[in-house]
Structure 1
Amino acid sequence: MKLARRILGGLTAALCACSGSSTQTSATGTVGMAADVSALRNDGSLAHVTATVLDAQGQPASGSVAFTASAGNLNGSGTTALSVALNAAGQASVTYACDVSIDPARCGPGSVAVNATWSGVTNGMRLTLQGLSSSPDAGSSDAGSSGGTDAGTGGSGSAGPAASITAVSATPAVLGLKGSGIQETGLTTFLVTDASGRAVSGATVSFGQNQPALVTLAQASAVTTASGTVSVGYDAGPLVGITAITATVAATGAAGSQPIAVRGARPSASGFYFRCSKTNLPVYTTTLEYETTTCTVRLSDRYGNRVGIATPVNFAAEAGAISANAVTKPFDFATPTDPDEGSVTVTFSSDMARGFGPVETTPIAGEPSVGNANPRDQLVTIIAMVRGEEAFVDANLDGQYNAGELFVDQGDPFIDSNDNNAYTGDEATEPRFCGGTDCSTYHGPNGLWDSDRTIWVPTWIAFTDAPKVTVDPWIASSCVDYVDNNVPNPSSASTGVSFRDGSLNAPAAGTTYGASFVGAPSGLTLNTLFGFDELENVGSSDPFWQRVSEANVNQPCTVATTTNGACVMQTRFGPFDDGHRLVLRVDDTNKTPAAAAPGHVCGGTPTAGTNLGSFTVQINAKGPHKDASAYTNGTYAF
């Protein structure tokens, strides 16, 4: 029977997530679980377990989480089942403890399962119990059998003087900056042991912190428990950095420490960066029509500090595909200067399900068009969304928003497919997303600075095809005369060459340009000017987000032009690229034949004894997948 129970216990462990952290996903939402420790003593010591819940849209969920445990008690309630309400960040936390003196049958050494359930989605994890009694598995009928050794002691007998202090947990070790409202408080637990590793009870431990002093300690000292542990709480201050909580037993000099970091925590729209590495994808140059690029979000708080708390970011695209959500990289003590802190990178791909491409648009002022096509027809809007605060200008430098200061007012996120800066109400072409607590309808900017809402920012990508080569008329004419002709006619001619696809978009980055004579016309030279390798672009468009007055969007965002400092962001376009990349110049170095001099061949009737020939120039554009070429002709004297 014991073997059978152990096998069943192993199956249970396989069905539950391992201790530390885990995530369970379904169509309803996602439940993630994490604990500050993977093992704890079975003397009533605490583990802190947190469930993080996102709904089907990747937003922090609401409601309650039902926690259950196979043994022990939750939140000191004496029960193994407890319901806890989710906070605004979609998190719910409980403390877990199992005391062998209270429940010797189920709190022996082994493992216990702690599960969390929200809206039918369940996730679980296991915690290891360590103590004086042994058990094949906590919660089994054999849990009361004897013969185990206390995993947390170094031997039997009374403990000696304090010789060592070890930090056993920090919940959390990374705090959010004071005033961020995110993870501002923490608790660190130390274990005091003697020279033999036995827990020392009744020892007075003094607490302090290294410089820089970044936190406020809840108490100056405390006395160790029967298990040799002692805890100190702390609150984050207004500065970011890294410090350490110190613990010292003055009587023996035993000391220990726990690193603590204070980081930016609440994202600000003023520090919300979102860009893609490639902004022109040559989608239509291959049969598969499949191109990819990486897109990166970087989050900073109102002070410009990187957000060092792991933060979920959501994404949506007008066409193609992008990850629905991803979590930014948190601060890591191992790499404290990591430039990727507060960042997350996702992949965007151009695959268009069921043939739905970018939304067709009406040309705007200054935009070129041919037939029904214009560059913005192939412009894809992508948005990134995160919970945070609206941007503001801290005019008096007091670190907080004050009425009358300029701020950027945002409405609910939506994909502005037609680039008109207004939500059309058409969910099919302009999907919207929840920005506040009410998701039933779209909510525009409210004229107020919001400290907690969904902030968002767009970026753009163009889908392009291989270019069509267009040659301008030759100047002065397509006929180049003798260098010493008697009219005089020009002995050189030049022309410009543009490269744009059927939607009048410029080619993708990496496209190269060139031109050469077909054959070798005697006495002619061809010079190509410009023709640099194509740099990254957004097709022929130059979209950007500009801050303007909410009261009058044709005015800049200034105190004088706004009402109560309210501004909004609007999509604007710079000059459209006309696609010109090459200038060709043909020079005739031939002189009039001696028998015909003085003479000419261009314009009117050629002088007797002169010679008129033709030349052809081939122009090439070599793209990532497909090349394009064209020819232009002229005549010359030889």
Structure 2
Amino acid sequence: MQRPIWRVCAALAMAIGAVVACNGGDPVDTEDELFITATPRQINNQGEASLIEITATKADGLKGTGKVTLKALAGALGNGSLEEQLDLVEGKASTSFTCNKVDPKCTGNVRIDGTWGETTTSVTLVVSGSSTTDGGTTDGGTTPITDGGTGTGDGGVRLTVTTSKATLFTNVGDFAEITASLTQTDGGPRANELITFDTSVGGLQVTSNDPPELSVQAQTNASGQAVVRLVENGVAGTTNVRARHTTSGAQATVPVKITNIQQITYTGTTCGGQACTIMGVNGSGFNEQAQVSFKVVDSTGNPAPGVSVTFTIPNAPTGTTVSPSAITNSQGIATATVSAGPVIGAIVVKAVAITNRVQVDSANIGIRGAKVANQGFSLACDLVNIGVYASANPPAAYNINCKVKVVDRYNNPVGTGTTVNFKVEAGNIENSVATKAYSPTGNNADEGTGTVRFNTTGGTFFPVDVPPLDAAPNQSPFPRDAEPRGPYGQLTANPRDGLVTIIAYTRGEEWFSDSNSNGVRDSGEQFIDQGEPFVDSNDNGIWDSGETYIDEAPADGRWNGPDGTWNNDTSIWTETRMLYTGRPAGNLAGHVYITPAQFAEPCTGGVPKGGLTYVKMYYGDDFFNRPQAQGTAFTASHTASKGAVRVLNSGLLDGYGFGMERRLLNSADQTACTASSAICSWKVLFTDWGNGYVSDAEIKGATAGDTTGCQNDTVTLGTTVLNVTTFSATTGGIQ
């Protein structure tokens, strides 16, 4: 909104009761308003000072910014000259004005002109031989207020008085230094002279150990200066502190406002200059420090500079610290510095200006894991065994959720929201997912996790055909049995032909043990070495030509394996496998059978009365793998009229059906990784093979009191997979 300049002048005249010089004539539109006030409006020409306060407001109502230039027609502004330029803070600025009688113009009306951009205004003071104050108030600020009065007697002296602060605040132990300077009229200092100081509000001290008094005396030093302290005593008001040269009677005053602190508010948290709600634990390299800011205002809502604010963190995680205190700046802002420790948590910073009266808590700040490490980085799918081959036209369509989790070297969830990428040997998967970031206000149960969908359709259907593994009796830490095998068309079938490898990869660091808990890897601390991510399609633990790999550590056109050195910024990865299975291959010898083939010699031995015997059921598919759990059930029957038979498993649990484990091995000799291993690396190990085993079946003899003869018995066991049942039988006798 634009305002006519004559309205500005009229408002100014009403506000200060002074003569206001305006550029007369017709109203001229302007965008801004500038006000200048003088407190007091009448001063003497013997050193009394007036506080000059400036308020600048933009046309849109916002507080003015930039600089204001003041020009006095006589006397001296706060910088000791006729012209002074002031910075606007929250739309305000202040300085002082004195008019010494040695300047012949220091009598009657003296005008001070102000200019802010294109806006001008002025204020007029009355300078006389005696002082009459109007009890006006001052604004906050730390600009020293200078007085330059001249006394009489004793050959003529000049006395000036200044304050280190224009405003004090109650109940915070605030004080200002009041300095009286006594010189000869020719400028020479007057040492060892007695100065009397008086105040009407607060108290005066010569030293900080003295009790506050309304009037004290101090002696000038070699520089002609006497310094006392004006301290607040809990009472608000405005005082003109008077300094009087005892011998000559020369005196000068300086105005100081003592006001109440009204409120402290939290204004924000930054990390590296940017707004943030999350910090990383010590050593993560992510937001390890944060600046938490608070604003203190006085009873008029203006910024309260120079106030000491103390900071604490209630129930801080181990190692997390905060700077103990800070002094508010010219805008009333006090800033705490928080340094994260190695332990995660959620904190608030408590800022206290006046205990139990003026205090506030910051918003929630999370201290979280921030850098992914390759030890706890994991990938797991809701199902691992799926009946993809149990279809007239494979692949059967399956959509499986897989969950990835990212943690730091201390196994804390990484709460920054991390992009994780994926590759598969067969089937189809989303390219990437962003893990859940820490929320200062929400539920963080799934922090650091992300979910993707794996589909059996789309992409490459068949897993890679791989040669069977021979026995490895010296494999550490567990020996490996020879993998089952058999003809399958032109191929040799084995269980690993059904395995599909899925990898997840992201940027992070290779985990290290941090044995001394200093957040930095030191020489000798164990680490997990890892090469570039690759899809291990043939499950042998090494990259082979034709296998997909991620060329980014470094990007040089070839796969790079573990390099034997710890890397703090590299491509890290994890892997999991799914197993494609079918229905039991009843037409293939060695895939579906019961062992032992006879549970007892028919009626030459047989299961004794009251006795039990057991057989094992093997229902392997074309690749010697057991069927999926979902949709699989068992049946059992027998021909004898006595005894009983039952399958011990009521149903299958999801699983591979053979021994496979991703383990850390000592990189030097491929034995088990222990605390003494210098470097370890991940490898998938295979141990024993299930051959399609699904359950034991129990065959029960006749009751102990049975008197009938032995009966031959045929036990028929069945496994139903997705509504198709495969049977097998075993024979024996029931005593």
TM-score (norm. length: structure 2): 0.54
Paired residue type of 1:622: T
Q: Is 1:451 aligned to 2:451, yes or no?
A: no
Paired residue type of 2:616: G
Paired residue type of 2:720: K
1:422 Cα offset (Å)? 1.4
Structure 1 residues 404, 279: CA separation in 2 closer, same or farther (over 3 Å shift)? same
3-state SS of paired residue (1:270)? coil
Looking at structure 2, the residues matched to 361 and 634 of structure 1 have their Cα atoms a distance apart, in angstroms, of: 37
Looking at structure 1, the residues matched to 711 and 355 of structure 2 have their Cα atoms a distance apart, in angstroms, of: 110
Paired residue type of 1:280: N
1:415 Cα offset (Å)? 0.8
Conservation of the 8 A alpha-carbon contact between 1:549 and 1:567 = yes
1:574 Cα offset (Å)? 2.1
Aligned pairs, how many? 451
Looking at structure 1, the residues matched to 517 and 354 of structure 2 have their Cα atoms a distance apart, in angstroms, of: 43
Describe the superposition over 1:402-422 as per-residue Cα deviations: whole angstroms up to 9, x where unpaired. Answer: 323332211111111111121
Match 2:288 to one of 184, 189, 195: 184
Looking at structure 2, the residues matched to 622 and 167 of structure 1 have their Cα atoms a distance apart, in angstroms, of: 66
- RMSD over aligned CA atoms reads 3.8
3-state SS of paired residue (1:351)? strand
Q: How does 1:593-604 map to 2 (within 5 A)?
A: none
Q: Is 1:527 aligned to 2:645, yes or no?
A: yes
Looking at structure 2, the residues matched to 255 and 474 of structure 1 have their Cα atoms a distance apart, in angstroms, of: 80
TM-score (norm. length: structure 1): 0.62
1:575 Cα offset (Å)? 0.6
Partner of 1:167: 266
Looking at structure 2, the residues matched to 268 and 224 of structure 1 have their Cα atoms a distance apart, in angstroms, of: 42
Structure 1 residues 304, 472: CA separation in 2 closer, same or farther (over 3 Å shift)? closer
Partner of 2:495: 375
Q: How does 1:116-515 map to 2 (within 5 A)?
A: 161-171=260-270, 172-193=276-297, 198=301, 200=303, 202=305, 204=307, 206-213=309-316, 215-217=320-322, 220-224=325-329, 231-250=335-354, 253-258=357-362, 259-286=364-391, 289-334=396-441, 338-353=444-459, 355-365=460-470, 366-371=482-487, 372-395=492-515, 400-426=520-546, 430-468=547-585, 470-472=592-594, 476=598, 480-481=602-603, 488-490=604-606, 495-510=615-630, 512-515=632-635
Looking at structure 1, the residues matched to 708 and 358 of structure 2 have their Cα atoms a distance apart, in angstroms, of: 103
Looking at structure 1, the residues matched to 426 and 526 of structure 2 have their Cα atoms a distance apart, in angstroms, of: 34
Looking at structure 1, the residues matched to 330 and 621 of structure 2 have their Cα atoms a distance apart, in angstroms, of: 75
3-state SS of paired residue (1:163)? strand
Paired residue type of 2:717: I
In structure 2, the gaps of 5 or more residues are 1-61, 67-89, 92-137, 141-258, 271-275, 471-481, 587-591
In structure 1, the gaps of 5 or more residues are 1-97, 103-130, 133-156, 482-487, 594-599, 603-614
Describe the superposition over 1:2-59 as per-residue Cα deviations: whole angstroms up to 9, x where unpaired. Answer: xxxxxxxxxxxxxxxxxxxxxxxxxxxxxxxxxxxxxxxxxxxxxxxxxxxxxxxxxx
Looking at structure 2, the residues matched to 577 and 216 of structure 1 have their Cα atoms a distance apart, in angstroms, of: 55
Looking at structure 1, the residues matched to 311 and 397 of structure 2 have their Cα atoms a distance apart, in angstroms, of: 58
Partner of 1:87: none
Structure 1 residues 252, 546: CA separation in 2 closer, same or farther (over 3 Å shift)? closer
Conservation of the 8 A alpha-carbon contact between 1:433 and 1:439 = no
Determine which structure has greater relative contact order: mean sequence separation of CA pairs < 8 Å that are 6+ residues apart, divided by chain length. Answer: 1
Paired residue type of 1:630: F
Looking at structure 2, the residues matched to 622 and 582 of structure 1 have their Cα atoms a distance apart, in angstroms, of: 16
Structure 1 residues 620, 164: CA separation in 2 closer, same or farther (over 3 Å shift)? farther
Moved more, 433-442 or 318-327: 433-442
Looking at structure 2, the residues matched to 419 and 586 of structure 1 have their Cα atoms a distance apart, in angstroms, of: 43
Looking at structure 1, the residues matched to 597 and 463 of structure 2 have their Cα atoms a distance apart, in angstroms, of: 39
Conservation of the 8 A alpha-carbon contact between 1:212 and 1:241 = no
Paired residue type of 2:284: S
3-state SS of paired residue (1:376)? helix
3-state SS of paired residue (2:389)? helix
Looking at structure 1, the residues matched to 447 and 375 of structure 2 have their Cα atoms a distance apart, in angstroms, of: 17
Larger radius of gyration: 2
1:356 Cα offset (Å)? 2.9
Conservation of the 8 A alpha-carbon contact between 2:378 and 2:404 = yes
Partner of 1:571: 684
Partner of 2:661: 544
Paired residue type of 2:467: T
Partner of 2:673: 557
Paired residue type of 2:663: Q
Paired residue type of 1:277: D
Structure 1 residues 191, 579: CA separation in 2 closer, same or farther (over 3 Å shift)? same
Looking at structure 2, the residues matched to 262 and 503 of structure 1 have their Cα atoms a distance apart, in angstroms, of: 49
Conservation of the 8 A alpha-carbon contact between 2:309 and 2:334 = no
Match 1:620 to one of 718, 723, 730: 718
3-state SS of paired residue (2:567)? coil
Conservation of the 8 A alpha-carbon contact between 2:277 and 2:366 = yes
Structure 1 residues 212, 635: CA separation in 2 closer, same or farther (over 3 Å shift)? closer
Looking at structure 2, the residues matched to 424 and 522 of structure 1 have their Cα atoms a distance apart, in angstroms, of: 57
Paired residue type of 1:573: F
Structure 1 residues 223, 378: CA separation in 2 closer, same or farther (over 3 Å shift)? same
1:445 Cα offset (Å)? 0.8
1:633 Cα offset (Å)? 6.7
Paired residue type of 1:502: D
Looking at structure 2, the residues matched to 250 and 592 of structure 1 have their Cα atoms a distance apart, in angstroms, of: 98
Paired residue type of 2:696: L
Looking at structure 2, the residues matched to 265 and 502 of structure 1 have their Cα atoms a distance apart, in angstroms, of: 46
Describe the superposition over 1:242-273 as per-residue Cα deviations: whole angstroms up to 9, x where unpaired. Answer: 33223343499422221333222222222223
Partner of 1:24: none
1:202 Cα offset (Å)? 3.6
Paired residue type of 1:170: T
Conservation of the 8 A alpha-carbon contact between 1:466 and 1:626 = no
1:231 Cα offset (Å)? 4.3
Looking at structure 2, the residues matched to 99 and 185 of structure 1 have their Cα atoms a distance apart, in angstroms, of: 32
3-state SS of paired residue (2:655)? coil
Looking at structure 1, the residues matched to 371 and 339 of structure 2 have their Cα atoms a distance apart, in angstroms, of: 16
Looking at structure 2, the residues matched to 392 and 504 of structure 1 have their Cα atoms a distance apart, in angstroms, of: 40
Conservation of the 8 A alpha-carbon contact between 1:240 and 1:264 = yes
Looking at structure 1, the residues matched to 368 and 631 of structure 2 have their Cα atoms a distance apart, in angstroms, of: 43
Structure 1 residues 195, 380: CA separation in 2 closer, same or farther (over 3 Å shift)? farther
Conservation of the 8 A alpha-carbon contact between 1:165 and 1:191 = yes
Paired residue type of 2:578: I
Structure 1 residues 572, 516: CA separation in 2 closer, same or farther (over 3 Å shift)? closer
1:316 Cα offset (Å)? 1.9
Conservation of the 8 A alpha-carbon contact between 2:313 and 2:321 = no
Conservation of the 8 A alpha-carbon contact between 1:476 and 1:494 = no
3-state SS of paired residue (1:347)? strand
Paired residue type of 1:480: P
Describe the superposition over 1:151-186 as per-residue Cα deviations: whole angstroms up to 9, x where unpaired. Answer: xxxxxx989854233223223232111221112122
Paired residue type of 1:260: I
Percent of aligned positions that are identical: 26
1:368 Cα offset (Å)? 0.7
1:489 Cα offset (Å)? 4.4
1:447 Cα offset (Å)? 0.8
Looking at structure 1, the residues matched to 700 and 596 of structure 2 have their Cα atoms a distance apart, in angstroms, of: 10
